[in-house]
Amino acid sequence: MRQVIVAANWKMNTTPADAGELARTIAARTREPGVIRVICPPYVCLSAVRHALVDDDLLAPDGIAVAVGAQNVHHEPAGAYTGEIAASMLAGLATWVIVGHSERRRDAGETDELIGRKLRAARAAGLRTILCVGEQLDEREAGRAEAVVDAQVRGCLAGAELGSLGVEDGLPWLTIAYEPVWAIGTGRTARGSDAAAMADAIRRTLAALGIPNGGEGVPVLYGGSVTSGSIGEFLAEPAIDGALVGGASLKPDEMAGIVARAGLTAAARRATGPGRPLAAPSA
C-alpha cells in the first residue's frame, strides 16, 4: 500500500520573515492521518520553516509531522560551484528534495544525465527524493508523451547509476511526480485518466529496469497546476498517490482542501488495502 503524499513547492516565493508563519498555518489546517505532508520553501527559508514546524500541536493524529524539502540540490558533494548547495549541506534542514523540475530543465538546461547525478547525490545523503518528469505540449499532440517520459525516467536513473541506488529494496526513498509541462500555469488542464495512464507507463518503465514488484511500491504524484477543485479527479485514480502542488501551495485554504481530499484517499486505502502494507520509509 503506497503512501499518499502532498508536497508543496513554493518556488521563488516567501522570505524568512513570513515563511515560518505560512508553514505553521498550513500545517495546522492539514492534519489528516495517513497523508505525508512536505513543504519545500526556497533555500533561504528552510531554517525558518523547519523551526516553525517543531510544535507537537502540528502533528497529524497519527503522529506524523510535516516534512521539509529543498527545491533543488547540486550533483557534487563540494567544490567551486558558486551559489550552489550540496546535499550534505541540507542535513538538519530538510529530509526531502525535488530534482528534475520542468522549470529547472527549462531555465537551467538540466539534462536527464545531470538530474540522475543529483538523484545519486540526494540518495547518498539520505534524502527522500521527488523526481519530476513530463512532456511538452507538442510531444503530447504528436502522440509521444509516454515515450518522452519513459526516456526521462530511464535517462535519470541511468545517470544516477541504477546499481548504486539500492534497487533490491525497491527504491523506498523515491517518489516520481508526473508534471505535464503544458498544464503548468497555462490554463490548460490534464485529465485524471491522462495522469493515471502515465503513472502506469512510469511503473512499466520501472519494471523494465528491474525494480522489484514492477515499481508498484514507488508513489507517483500528479503535478500540473493542482488546486483543491481539481485534485479529486486525480486522486480518484488508484494509480495516483498524491500531488506536487505549485501556486496553490501558498494558499492555506487550497492546501487544506487538497490535503483533506488526500486524507479520504488514505482512509480508503487503509480500509481496502492488503493486510500487510508495503513498508513505509520515515517521513
Catalytic residues, by residue number, are 101, 179
Compute the distance between CA of residue 270 and CA of residue 238 in angstroms, rounded to an integer: 13
Contact 188, 148 (CB under 8 A): no
Compute the distance between CA of residue 74 and CA of residue 79 in angstroms, rounded to an integer: 10
Contact 49, 39 (CB under 8 A): yes
Residue of 123, 149, 134 whose CA lies nearest to 190: 134
Compute the distance between CA of residue 66 and CA of residue 168 in angstroms, rounded to an integer: 28
In the chain the beta strands, taken as DSSP E runs, fall at 4-9, 35-40, 67-70, 96-99, 128-133, 174-178, 220-222, 242-245
What are the counts of helices (DSSP H) followed by strands (DSSP E) for the chain?
9, 8
Compute the distance between CA of residue 183 and CA of residue 233 in angstroms, rounded to an integer: 15
- What region does 185 belong to: left with phi over 0, alpha with psi -120 to 50, or beta? left
